[in-house]
Amino acid sequence: MPTMPGLGETARAIVADGKGILAADETVSTITKRLTAREIESTADSRRAYREMLFSTPDIAPFIGGVILQDETIRQDSSTGIPLVDLLAGRGIIPGIKVDAGVHPLAGAPGEFVTEGLDGLRARFEEYRELGARFAKWRAVFVIRDGMPTGRCIYANAHALARYAALCQEQGLVPIVEPEVLMEGAHGLERCEDVTGRVLQAVFDELFDAQVSLEGMLLKPNMITAGQGFSRQATVKQVAEATLRTLTRHVPPAVPGIVFLSGGQDHVLATEHLNAINELDRPKPWKLTFSYGRALQDEALAAWQGRRENVPAGQQAFQHRAWCDSAAAQGRYSSDMEGAAFARAEAPPSI
């Protein structure tokens, strides 16, 4: 498997000490639902204004190493005429891009899905690289139900993830490989651990066969949790132990970073889980950090409310959550930080 030093440097920079990823790659339809739920009109300009508020928040560079953009956003300029990708890059934050075409029903497998978008992907990578992207993301989803996910579904998505990652590295971009076992369902912690382990094993088998450089990629998995419909939810410590155990069994140490998705967890619980994983006194050969969407954005969106005069309040909320998640990525988060005011610092304080 070839080593790609340039890609490795970029991957390591994204997940440098205390840094994680802001996932701002919601499709137009998804972000429209979130805006309209707060009675904010969704237009290209309002979507740009919201994301510009996040990207221009003061003092987040020590906490945010990369931002995943969506096709609309990577082409937009800020209110001052600066391309949003340049706004990020100028602050030392690495821009990335979501490149998959979304999940679609897997033919002949009712209730299961496969991610599409491989057709024409090489040309899209070339364009996105010219627009300023330095990494990319592709998401696959797996549903836990009786008899699901099937081996066929796991293989189809693992193979697509590997083909995407190989094309991504060919074009000089760092691939984020995102196999998400959904929290939806009534399954327990043990079932999630079993399925996630099988998915990760299949993904890395395919990545190896596709000759993807593990040193030049990042993994974006789910944490090991019980399904949202399960009657007995696991403790924060149980989630942390099961998550680290699964990663240790199935993720090679050559991968520089694991950036967890929040998967529908609320912002505080996502922070607590990440912190507990990093607090465990066990070997952790990878950086274990965050690639959160709603868990990083919800407080900021609630404070902003689509009003220009609320931009400072929205930025303060985003700044505070990024600070907390950065601390959690180093095992230094405390619940006391929830009520504490953010103070300008290059790193979270010792707790």
Q: Looking at the DSSP assignment, which residues form a beta bridge with residue 176?
A: 137, 218
Is residue 345 assigned to a domain?
A: no
Q: What is the CA radius of gyration of the chain?
A: 19
Domain that holds residue 84: 5-339
Q: What pLDDT does 345 receive?
A: 44
Q: Which of 26, 52, 178, 180 is catalytic?
A: 178
Q: Is the pLDDT of residue 1 over 90?
A: no
- The answer to whether residue 350 sits within a structural domain is no
CA-to-CA dists, residue 234 to 198, 273, 343, angstroms:
21, 11, 33
List all residues 6 or more positions away from 230 whose beta carbon is below 8 Å from its beta carbon. Answer: 185, 186, 187, 188
Q: Is 98 in the active site?
A: no
272 is known as an active-site residue: no
pLDDT over 90 at 252, yes or no:
yes
The pTM is what? 0.95
Burial of 314 (0-12, 13-18, 19+ CB in 10 A): buried
The CA-atom distances, in angstroms, between 339 and each of 334, 335, 336 are 10, 8, 6
By the 8 A CB rule, do 18 and 332 touch?
no
Q: Is the pLDDT of residue 12 over 90?
A: yes
21 strand-pairing partners: 66, 291
Q: Does residue 342 surpass a pLDDT of 90? A: no
Q: Which CATH number characterizes residue 269's domain?
A: 3.20.20.70
| List 137, 220, 272, 287, catalytic entry | 220
347 within a domain of the structure (yes/no): no
- In-domain check, residue 348: no
CA 309, CA 169: separation in Å to the nearest integer? 42
Residue 146 is assigned to a structural domain of this protein: yes
pLDDT of 288 over the 70 cut: yes
Helices (H) and strands (E) in the chain, counts: 12, 10
Does residue 349 form part of some domain?
A: no
Please count the structural domains in the chain: 1
Q: Which of 259, 261, 319, 268 has the alpha carbon at shortest distance from 293? A: 261
Q: Tens of pLDDT along 219-230? A: 999 999 999 999
pLDDT at 350: 40
Q: Tens of pLDDT along 19-70? A: 999 999 999 999 999 999 999 999 999 999 999 999 999 999 999 999 999 9
Whether 343 shows a pLDDT value over 70: the answer reads no
Residue type at 193?
E
Which residue type does 221 have? P
Contact 115, 102 (CB under 8 A): yes
In a domain, 320, yes or no: yes
Look at residue 346 and tell me if it is in a domain. no
